[in-house]
Amino acid sequence: MMKDTRKLSRLFQATLLVASCLVTYDTALAQGKNGTTLAGYKTIDICAVGNGDWRYYGLITLWNEGAVNTEGLSIKDQIQYKTGTDWVGGPYVNLTVPSFIPAATTDGTATVIPYSVDNLPLPGTIRNVASITIMNHSGSLGIPKGPEPKATFLGDVKPCDSVDAGGCSYTQGYWGSKPNVVWPSPYDRSAMFYLSGLTWQGIMDSPVKSAPGYYQLAQQYIAAVLNVANNASAPQGVTSTISAAAAWLTVTSPVACSTKGSCGVQKDWAATLAKYNEGSYPSGPKHCE
C-alpha cells in the first residue's frame, strides 16, 4: 500500500511539472509574439458590359495599425443583393491578395487592392462585402479575425464605356504646388480648412508626419474636390468616399490623428482618393496630360 502511495505521489508531481512547463511555454509564446489590427475600407461601382452582364468593381483598402506585419492574410470578397429583408450571396470575386500588409512603421500609405468581376445583373439593392482575416490579430493570436468592410451601390448602372467619359484628374502635387494654377470655383486657397486652423493651401503645404491620417486624407480630399469641380467625372465609389471624408473633417481636428496607429480608416480613404487623383481608379477619369 505504501509503495502504491509513493508511486501516485511521484506521478502527481511529474504531472504538475509537465503542466507547469506547458503553462510556462504557452505564456512565453504569447508574451513573445505581438499582434496587430487592420483598418479596412472598400468601394463598389457597377456598369453594363454590353453582352448582358454587369461589371462589379472597386477597391479594397487596408491599413495595418500595428508595429508588425500581418500573418496569414485572407480575403473573401462577395457581391450580395437583397429584394426583401435578407442579403443573398452572389458571385465571389477572385483577388490578387498580397502575402502580408506591412506594419504601420514601415509603410506610409495604405495597401490598395482592386477587384472586378463580370456576372449577370442582380436585382434589388447590391453591395460588396470583404471578409478580411489575419492570424496574428491582437488578442486573438492564431485565430482568423479581422474587419469586414461593406459598400452598397446606390447609383444607376450605365454602360462601361461611358462611365469615365468626363474630364481628367490632377494629383495633390499639381493643385498644391503651382501658385499660377487657378482653383475652380467655389474653392479658395486662402479659405480656412474646416477645424484644422490652416488655410486650404496651408493644408497642402503641411508635412504629414505630425498627424498622418489627417493630413494624408485632407490633401487627397482637396485634390479630389478640385478635380470634380474642374469637371472630372467621379464614379460612385469616389463620391461616397469624398462625402465620408467631408463629414469626418467637419468635426475633427488634426490632433485626433497624432498618436501611432490612429485614424486607419482615414488613411484608407486617403489611399482611395489618391487612386482617383492619380487617374488609376477603376473606370475613373485618366490623369491629365
Is residue 176 domain-shared with residue 132, that is, in the same domain?
no
- For helices 212-229 and 264-277, give the axis angle rounded to 10 degrees: 30
Is residue 129 domain-shared with residue 186, that is, in the same domain?
no
Is residue 158 domain-shared with residue 195, that is, in the same domain?
no
In the chain, the amino acid numbered 174 is Y
Is residue 42 domain-shared with residue 155, that is, in the same domain?
yes
Q: Are the C-beta atoms of residues 74 and 112 closer than 8 Å to each other?
A: no
Q: Which of 127, 162, 197 delimits the end of a domain?
A: 162
Q: Which of 136, 162, 188 delimits the end of a domain?
A: 162
Residue 181 belongs to a domain: yes
- What's the domain count of the chain? 2
DSSP reduced 3-state for 230: coil
Residue 289 belongs to a domain: no
In this predicted structure, what is the pLDDT of residue 40?
Answer: 97
Residue 201 belongs to a domain: yes
Q: Which of 140, 162, 184 delimits the end of a domain?
A: 162
In this predicted structure, what is the pLDDT of residue 162?
Answer: 78
In this predicted structure, what is the pLDDT of residue 49?
Answer: 95
In this predicted structure, what is the pLDDT of residue 163?
Answer: 72
Q: 127: domain CATH number?
A: 2.60.40
Residue 251 belongs to a domain: yes
Residue 252 belongs to a domain: yes
Is residue 206 domain-shared with residue 117, that is, in the same domain?
no
In this predicted structure, what is the pLDDT of residue 16?
Answer: 37
Non-local CB neighbours of 16 within 8 Å, separated by 6+ positions:
none
In this predicted structure, what is the pLDDT of residue 106?
Answer: 65
Helix (H) or strand (E) holding 262: none
Residue 112 belongs to a domain: yes
In this predicted structure, what is the pLDDT of residue 247?
Answer: 99
Residue 232 belongs to a domain: yes
What is the spatial distance between Cα 130 and Cα 89, in angstroms, rounded to a whole number?
A: 12
Which domain does 236 fall in, by range?
172-277
Q: In the beta sheet, which residues pair with residue 64?
A: 38
What is the spatial distance between Cα 200 and Cα 37, in angstroms, rounded to a whole number?
A: 32
Is residue 273 domain-shared with residue 204, that is, in the same domain?
yes
Is residue 196 domain-shared with residue 102, that is, in the same domain?
no
Written as one string, the DSSP assignment of the chain is -HHHHHHHHHHHHHHHHHHHHHHHHHHHHHHH---B-EEEEE--EEEE-SSS-EEEEEEEEEEE-SSS---S-EEEEEEEEESSSS-EEEEEE-----S-PPPTTT-SS-EEEEEEEEE----SEEEEEEEEEEEEETTEEEEEE----EEEE-S--EEGGGTT-S--B--HHHHHH-TTSPPPTT--TTSB-TTSSSBHHHHHHS-STTSHHHHHHHHHHHHHHHHHHTT----HHHHHHHHHHHHHHHT--GGGG-STT--HHHHHHHHHHHHHHTT-STTSPPBP-
| pLDDT tens for each residue of the chain, 289 residues long | 444 444 444 443 443 333 333 333 333 333 346 899 999 999 999 999 989 999 999 999 999 999 999 999 999 999 999 999 999 999 999 999 999 999 986 667 899 999 999 999 999 999 999 999 999 999 999 999 999 999 999 999 999 987 766 899 999 999 998 888 999 999 999 999 999 999 999 999 999 888 889 999 999 999 999 999 999 999 999 999 999 999 999 999 999 999 878 899 999 999 999 999 999 999 899 999 8
Is residue 179 domain-shared with residue 200, that is, in the same domain?
yes
Is residue 100 domain-shared with residue 212, that is, in the same domain?
no
Is residue 151 domain-shared with residue 232, that is, in the same domain?
no
Is residue 270 domain-shared with residue 220, that is, in the same domain?
yes
Residue 6 belongs to a domain: no
Is residue 117 domain-shared with residue 135, that is, in the same domain?
yes
